[in-house]
Amino acid sequence: MLYPEEFDVIVVGGGHAGTEAALAAARMGCKTLLLSHNIETLGQMSCNPSIGGIGKGHLVKEVDALGGAMAIATDEGGIQFRILNSSKGPAVRATRAQADRILYKAAIRRRLENQPNLTLFQQAVDDLMVEGDRVVGAVTQVGIRFRSRTVVLTAGTFLDGKIHVGLNNYAAGRAGDPPAISLSARLKELKLPQARLKTGTPPRLDGRTIDFSRCEEQPGDLDPVPVFSFMGNAAMHPAQVPCWITHTNERTHEIIRSGFDRSPMFTGKIEGVGPRYCPSVEDKVNRFADKDSHQIFLEPEGLTTNEIYPNGISTSLPFDIQYQLVRSMAGLENAHILRPGYAIEYDYFDPRSLKSSFETRSIGGLFFAGQINGTTGYEEAAAQGLFAGVNAALQCQGKSSWLPGRDEAYLGVLVDDLITKGVTEPYRMFTSRAEFRLQLREDNADMRLTEQGRTLGLVDDARWESFNRKRDAVSRETERLKSTWVNPRNLPAAESERVLGKAIDHEYSLGDLLRRPDVRYAGLMSLDAGRYASADVSRETLAELWQPVVEQIEIAAKYSGYIDRQKDEILRAAQYEHLKLPLDFDYLGVPALSFEVRQKLNKHKPETLGLASRISGVTPAAISLLLVHLKKSR
Ligand code: FAD
C-alpha cells in the first residue's frame, strides 16, 4: 500500500540519533515521520544507564542549547548527578548523570508524542525507495510505502546485527530486539561503502543478591546537585541515590583467562573492531596483564527496579565464565545474573562518503546519523541525529546546509572528524579532539549555539527568552564590574585582606580584581557589607539564573588571556577554513603534491580547504602548495 500522506522527512530508527533527528526536523516545521521497530523502545538505552561524561557531556549541553531533548530528559530521569574534573579548568569539567532508564525513556517518548508536525509509526523498515539518484521514501516490513523528500537513517547497531555470547551467536539488533537484515542487504546493493564494528555490554545483576556492605559507596554531588539542561533545575530530578564500587581481583582474572579459548574475540569469531576506550573485561585482562585489579561501578538501573549495571565488566565470554567471574568479586559472591553480557557486531558506513551535511554523496536526500556512521555512545548519536535532522529539514526548505565550525561546537568537531578522517574503531568524543576547547565549554554551550538554533527554527520562545535574560544579565554585570571602582581609602584593611588576600595600594575596578586567581565573585559581593553587590541579584527572576551568570563572568575574567589568544588562533585558521574547493577539481593535475596526497584528495573531494587540511596524510605543507596552485589557476 502507498500511504496516502507524503512527508518532508522520514527518520528510520527511534534511538538517540533518530529521536533528536525527528524532533529537530519537526521543530523546524517539516512534516516528519519517525518509523521505528517498536514504540516501546523509543529512546532506549542499549547499554549503560548513564548520560554525559567528559566530552560527551559537552555534546549533550550543545544538543540542549539547540533545543534538543537529551539533557532535559536526563534531568527528569536522573538519579545521580556528578561534575567530573570539578577541580580542573572549566574546559574539561563535565556533567555525568545516572538515569532511571524507564523514566528517561518515558521523558523522550512524551516529547515525541507531543511534538507538533511529528507522526510516529511502529514498523521495521526493510527497503528504501530510490528513483534515479534520489531517495523518495521507505518501505516497511508489511509493504507499506511511505513517500518523502528526505530520509534520515539512524539504525544503530541493528544492521545485520549479530550477538555473541561465547562461541554461540544469533542475529539480533540488541538483546531482545530483531536485527535489520533486509535493510542491510538493500544498503549493500546501493553500494554504500560499509564494514563491521562491534561493541559489548556487561551482564546485569539482581541488586537483592548483592552485599553492598562489602562495597564502597559512591554518592553523587549533593551540594549543589548538578543539572543538565539550560532549562532544567534540580527539583526535576526524581531522587538521588548512590552507586557502589567493587573490584576485580587475581581470581577474577584467572577465571577470565580460563575462558579465552571460548572467547569470540580471541578465537576470531568476531571480526569487527571494538571501542578501544570501552574495552571488554577480557580485553583489559589480556592487554594490561600486569594489573591485578580493575574498579567496577555498580550502578542502579532505576528507582523501581532492583537491576544493577556493573560498569567495567562488559564481556562476550561464555555464560559459565560470566557466572564465575561475577561471583569472584567482593559483594557479588551470591549475585544473580538477570541478563547475560554479550557483544554485538553490526554494519556501519564509512562516514567519509557523506557530505558535510551528513547527506550521502551518492544518493540525494538520504542522510545517515548515529552509530551507523561508526560512532559509539548515546551522546555522539544524539548530536549527529539533531545535525542530520536539521540538514534534512533545510534541504526540504530549499536552504543551504548548516555546519557549526570546530571553533564553535563539539558537534562541529564530531562531524568534521567523521567526514574527513573516517573511523577505524568506534569513535567517541574526548575533549582532546577539540583544538579550541577553551572556547567549547559545557557552561557556554548556550552562548555558542542558542542563537544559531533560534535562527534555524529549533529553539522555542521559552528557551529563547530565558537565554536572552541570561545573556543580558552577563553583559550588564560585566559592564558594571568594569566600571565599579574600589578605592583603598574607603576600604577597611581587614576587609581587603579577607576578600583580596592583601590590602590594595590603588584604585581597581571590580572586573580587574576578579581577574586575580584567588578572588571570587561572591567574595567581591560581600566586600564591605555588600557595598559593591549587584542590585540585579535581588530581583526574583534573575536570582534563579544568577549562578550560571556568575559562572560566565568568573570564567571570562579568569581565563580572558587564554581565551583571547585562542580567538586569535581561530581567526588565523578561519582565513582559509571556508575557502571552497570545486567538487570536480582534478587533484591528479597538481604536480607539486605527492602522488599519495593527490589520490587522497581526489578520493575525498573535500568541499573546503579546511576539510582538505584534516584528511589524514594531507600535511600543512601540502595545503600551502594546493593554495598556491589554486591562486595561480584563478
Ligand atoms: P540505537 O540506539 O541502536 O537505535 C537504533 C534504533 O533504530 C532502534 O530504535 C531500532 O529499533 C531502530 N531500527 C533499526 N533498524 C530499523 C529498521 N530497519 N526499521 C525500523 N527501526 C529500526 N555505547 C557506549 O558509549 N559505550 C558502550 O560501552 C556501549 N556499549 C554498547 C553495547 C551494546 C550491546 C549495544 C547494543 C550498544 C552499546 N553502546 C555503547 C552504544 C550505544 O547504545 C549506541 O551508541 C547508541 O545507542 C546509538 O544510538 P543510535 O540512535 O545510533 O542507535
Query: What spacing in Å lies between the alpha carbon of 389 and ligand 1's midpoint?
Result: 17
What integer best gives the mean pLDDT of the chain?
A: 93
For residue 448, which amino acid is it?
R
Instruction: Report which residue type is found at 268.
Output: G
CA distance 362 to 586: 19
Annotated binding site for NAD(+): 274-288
Query: What whole-number distance in Å separates Cα of residue 67 and Cα of residue 449?
Result: 10
Q: Say how many Å lie between the first and final Cα of the chain, rounded.
A: 54
Q: Name the residue of 11, 20, 157, 296 to mutate for ligand 1: max ligand atoms within 8 A of Cβ.
A: 157
ipTM topping 0.95: yes
Distance 211 CA to ligand 1 centre (A): 32
DSSP 373: G
Contact 108, 78 (CB under 8 A): no
pLDDT band at 583 (very low <50, low <70, confident <90, very high): confident
- Given this model, what pLDDT does residue 617 score? 75
SS3 98: strand
Residue 160: left if φ>0, alpha if ψ -120 to 50, beta else—which one?
left
154 Cα–ligand 1 center, Å = 9
Paired strand residues for 6? 147
| C-alpha 189 to ligand 1 mean position (Å) | 23
Residue of the CA atom closest to atom 28 of ligand 1: 278
Which residues are known binding-site members for FAD?
13-18
Ligand 1 pocket test: which of 44, 96, 122, 158 has the largest number of ligand atoms within 8 Å of its C-beta? 158
pLDDT tens track for 277-306? 788 999 999 999 899 999 999 999 999 999
Burial of 347 (0-12, 13-18, 19+ CB in 10 A): buried
Q: Is it the case that residue 246 has pLDDT exceeding 90? A: yes
DSSP 160: T
Per-residue confidence band for 527, with pLDDT thresholds at 50, 70 and 90: confident
* The pLDDT of residue 25 is above 80: yes
What is the Cα–Cα distance from 530 to 524, expressed in whole angstroms?
8
Q: What is the pLDDT of residue 538?
A: 59
Over residues 555-567, the pLDDT tens digits come to 999 988 888 887 7
Backbone angles phi, psi at 566, to 5 degrees: -65, -35
Give, for ligand 1, the residue of 50, 139, 154 to mutate: max count of ligand atoms closer than 8 Å to Cβ: 154
Name which residue sits closest to atom 18 of ligand 1, judged by CA. Answer: 125
Atom of ligand 1 nearest to the CA of 177: 11
Cell of 399: 536552504
C-alpha distances in angstroms, 234 versus 53, 231, 371, 445, 454? 18, 11, 31, 19, 25
What's CA 467's distance to the chain center, in Å? Answer: 22
Distance 204 CA to ligand 1 centre (A): 18
Cβ < 6 A, ligand 1 pocket:
12-18, 35-37, 41, 46-47, 124-125, 154-158, 173-174, 177, 180, 183, 199-201, 278, 314, 344, 370-371, 376-378, 381
Q: What angle do CA 67, 68, 74 make, to 5 degrees?
A: 120
Report the nearest-CA residue for atom 26 of ligand 1.
377
- The DSSP 8-state label assigned to residue 213 in this structure reads G
User: For residues 316 and 213, is the Cβ–Cβ distance under 8 A?
Assistant: no
Strand 485-486 with 78-84, pairing:
unpaired
- Summarize the confidence of residues 398-406 as an average pLDDT: 95
Binding annotation = 13-18, 274-288
Q: What tens digit of pLDDT does each residue of 316-339 get?
A: 999 999 999 999 999 999 999 999
The pLDDT confidence band at residue 545, using thresholds 50, 70 and 90, is: low
For residue 15, which atom of ligand 1 is closest to its CA?
Answer: 4
Indicate which atom in ligand 1 lies nearest the CA of residue 41. Answer: 9
pLDDT, tens digit, for every residue of 72-126?
A: 999 999 999 999 999 888 889 999 999 999 999 999 999 999 999 999 999 999 9
Residue 235 to residue 227: CA distance in whole angstroms? 9
**Residue minimizing CA distance to atom 21 of ligand 1:** 36
400: left (phi over 0), alpha (psi -120 to 50) or beta: beta
Under 8 Å between Cβ of 32 and 7: yes
Instruction: Name which of 165-179, 191-205, 497-511, 525-539 the model is least confident about.
Output: 525-539
Q: Which residue, by CA, sits nearest to atom 13 of ligand 1? A: 13
pLDDT at 586 over 70: yes
User: What spacing in Å lies between the alpha carbon of 20 and ligand 1's midpoint?
Assistant: 14
Probe target for ligand 1 pocket from 47, 188, 358, with the most ligand atoms within 8 Å of CB: 47
pLDDT at 437: 87
**Interval 19-46 mean pLDDT:** 97
Q: For 155-208, how does the pLDDT look when each residue is reduced to its tens digit (9 = 90+)?
A: 999 999 999 999 999 999 999 999 999 999 999 999 999 999 999 999 999 999
Q: How far apart are CA 210 and CA 331, in angstroms?
A: 6
Could you tell me the pTM of the whole model? 0.91
Q: Could you give the count of Cα atoms lying within 13 Å of 244 in the half-sphere of its Cβ?
A: 19
Average pLDDT on 604-614 reads: 88
The neighbour count for residue 602, using CB atoms within 10 Å, is 14
Angle at 148 between CA 143 and CA 153, to 5 degrees: 80
| pLDDT at position 624 over 80 | no
Residue whose Cα lies nearest atom 50 of ligand 1: it is: 156
Beta strand pairing call for 342-349 and 134-140: unpaired
Which atom of ligand 1 is found nearest the CA of 183? 18
Cα 14 to averaged position of ligand 1 atoms, centre (Å): 9
> How far is the centre of ligand 1, averaged over its atoms, from the C-alpha of 214 (Å)?
34
Is the torsion defined by CA of 212, 51, 22, 349 positive or negative?
negative
**How confident is the model at residue 219, as a pLDDT?**
95
Q: Rounded to 5 degrees, what are φ and ψ at 457?
A: 95, 15
